[in-house]
Amino acid sequence: MRGIVSEANNSEAFSEAKMSDVAVIGGGINGCALAYELAKKGVNATVFEKGYLGSGATGRCGGGIRQQFDTEDNIRLVMESVKIFEKMEKELGYDIEYDQGGYLVLAHSDEEKERFKKNVELQRSMGLGVNFLEKEEIKELCPILDVDGAKAVGATFCQTDGHANPFRVTEAYAKNAERLGAEIKTFTEVKGIKKEKRFEIITEKEKMFADVVVNAAGCYSKQIAEMVGVKLPNKPYRHEILATESLKPVLKPMIISFMDGIYFCQHKTGQIVGGIGNPDEPSGINTESSFWFLEKMASTITRYIPSFKNLNVLRQWAGMYDVTPDARPILGKTNVKNFFVVCGFSGHGFMVAPVTAKLMSELIVDGKTSMPIDNLSIERFKKGVIRKEGAVVG
């Protein structure tokens, strides 16, 4: 074990109970990626997952990786993540079905067009290769898209955006974390956490002590935080998604519209995978599928791509977005020493997980990060002024 920057670092050893440097609660992409980054730094991490790996939002997500946001923090995070995704297959030795087919972000009004042009300016100033496209250019880039049917008046396009398979990425991180010494406990629900000199993690099967706890429990992170008296402002919202039968390659970029709340792409398997948000969805944990979604998705996607009208849907499912008041993640320390949070990803936690894990491992082990994440700390909500991310599907 390498010394971690923790209050309990020099305290006496525990006798009978098991001990881990870091207990990570949640075996989604963020928990598994963090266990891997910690293991790489020689820190012994134990992941507690109440179901199977990826059983939360991760295994239910669209796998989209988009750098085109309108807040600098989000743009920077995904740009750094993309650098990691680009080398991931080699580093982790897994085919993650990574495809950089680009993301086409459709604008539907003059107001949106102007806003997107400003976004492009900001993104380009940060070094992102992104362009604004007029209607004719969209048709050229994506001939299968009915630009008029989609009611698009312009778009932005970034070629290095793309998507990957969330199950494969999670498994790749988990297996490599284990290879480097991390322990992953699936079907092990954390029932309570006691904080004394160290943390005591209570499950039905056993107790474990840890110097540091990281809350990566997705839409359950609020309940986990409450176990140590930390209050989080995030709320869970259901989002539905579907996959069709496989087609020959017909759609290169991932398509997204904030106005219609729709996103979809063609995976390497040939399936069209996509979802659409329901602006009237109440907050709460609900993973039931609905006819409302199926009808809305079918009528919208066939307006965008009429030739999809004969496409069969193979399955639909639902998962939870873990949404913060400013649609940006909550990363870092809390008012309980050595209790960290990695949550509130508001529908974008897959794409930022690689860099988030790296930064959080730096914060835990070295006490500082190679990229600033102060803007994303929980403290921002106390200050009262928050800058909301606008480039999101609600």
Ligand X SMILES: Cc1cc2nc3c(=O)[nH]c(=O)nc-3n(C[C@H](O)[C@H](O)[C@H](O)COP(=O)(O)OP(=O)(O)OC[C@H]3O[C@@H](n4cnc5c(N)ncnc54)[C@H](O)[C@@H]3O)c2cc1C
189: which 2 tokens?
């629900």
Contact stretch for ligand X (CB under 6 A) within 13-21, 49-57, 103-111, 146-154: 49-57
| Residue found by looking up tokens 């790489």 in the block | 40
Report the nearest approach of ligand X to the CB of residue 67 (Å): 11
Cβ atoms 349, 30 nearer than 8 A: yes
* 300 belongs to the binding site for ligand X (CB under 6 A): no
Q: How far apart are CA 7 and CA 118, in angstroms?
A: 45
Q: How far apart are CA 57 and CA 80, in angstroms?
A: 22
* 339 belongs to the binding site for ligand X (CB under 6 A): no
313: which 2 tokens?
């849907």
What mask, x for binding ligand X by CB under 6 A, covers residues 209 to 238? -------xxxxx---x--------------
Nearer to ligand X, 33 or 152 (CB): 33
Contact stretch for ligand X (CB under 6 A) within 44-52, 123-131, 192-200, 303-311: 44-52
* 332 belongs to the binding site for ligand X (CB under 6 A): no
Cβ atoms 319, 175 nearer than 8 A: no
**6, 20, 21, 28: which one contacts ligand X (CB under 6 A)?**
28
Contact stretch for ligand X (CB under 6 A) within 106-114, 121-129, 276-284, 345-353: 345-353
* 25 belongs to the binding site for ligand X (CB under 6 A): yes
Quote the crossing angle between the two packed helices 29-40 and 349-366, to the nearest 10°.
40
Q: How far apart are CA 173 and CA 84, in angstroms?
A: 12
What mask, x for binding ligand X by CB under 6 A, covers residues 54 to 73? -xxxx-xxxxx---------
38: which 2 tokens?
């910690």
**39, 82, 190, 228: which one contacts ligand X (CB under 6 A)?**
190
Cβ atoms 8, 196 nearer than 8 A: no
Report the nearest approach of ligand X to the CB of residue 104 (Å): 14
Residue 135 host element (H or E): helix 135-141
Report the nearest approach of ligand X to the CB of residue 11 (Å): 25
Vertex 277: Cα angle to 275 and 279 (nearest 5): 170
Report the nearest approach of ligand X to the CB of residue 89 (Å): 18
Contact stretch for ligand X (CB under 6 A) within 25-33, 68-76, 107-115, 294-302: 25-33
Report the nearest approach of ligand X to the CB of residue 262 (Å): 12
Cβ atoms 39, 180 nearer than 8 A: yes
Cβ atoms 365, 38 nearer than 8 A: yes
Nearer to ligand X, 189 or 281 (CB): 189
Report the nearest approach of ligand X to the CB of residue 10 (Å): 29
- Listed in sequence order, the residues at least 6 apart from 285 whose beta carbon sits closer than 8 Å to its beta carbon are 219, 236, 238, 320
* 340 belongs to the binding site for ligand X (CB under 6 A): no
| Residue found by looking up tokens 């199950």 in the block | 167
188: which 2 tokens?
């092990």
199: which 2 tokens?
């943390």
**21, 31, 228, 277: which one contacts ligand X (CB under 6 A)?**
31
Contact stretch for ligand X (CB under 6 A) within 38-46, 51-59, 95-103, 289-297: 51-59
* 345 belongs to the binding site for ligand X (CB under 6 A): yes
Nearer to ligand X, 36 or 136 (CB): 36
* 321 belongs to the binding site for ligand X (CB under 6 A): yes
Report the nearest approach of ligand X to the CB of residue 118 (Å): 23
Q: What Rg, from alpha-carbon coordinates, does the chain have?
A: 21
Nearer to ligand X, 12 or 267 (CB): 267
Cβ atoms 273, 350 nearer than 8 A: no
Nearer to ligand X, 8 or 57 (CB): 57
Strands 254-257, 103-107: pairing kind: parallel
Of 73, 234, 267, 76, nearest in space to 167 by CA? 267
Nearer to ligand X, 222 or 380 (CB): 222
> Which positions lie near ligand X, rule CB under 6 A?
25-31, 48-51, 55-58, 60-64, 189-190, 216-220, 224, 239, 241, 275, 319-321, 345, 347-351
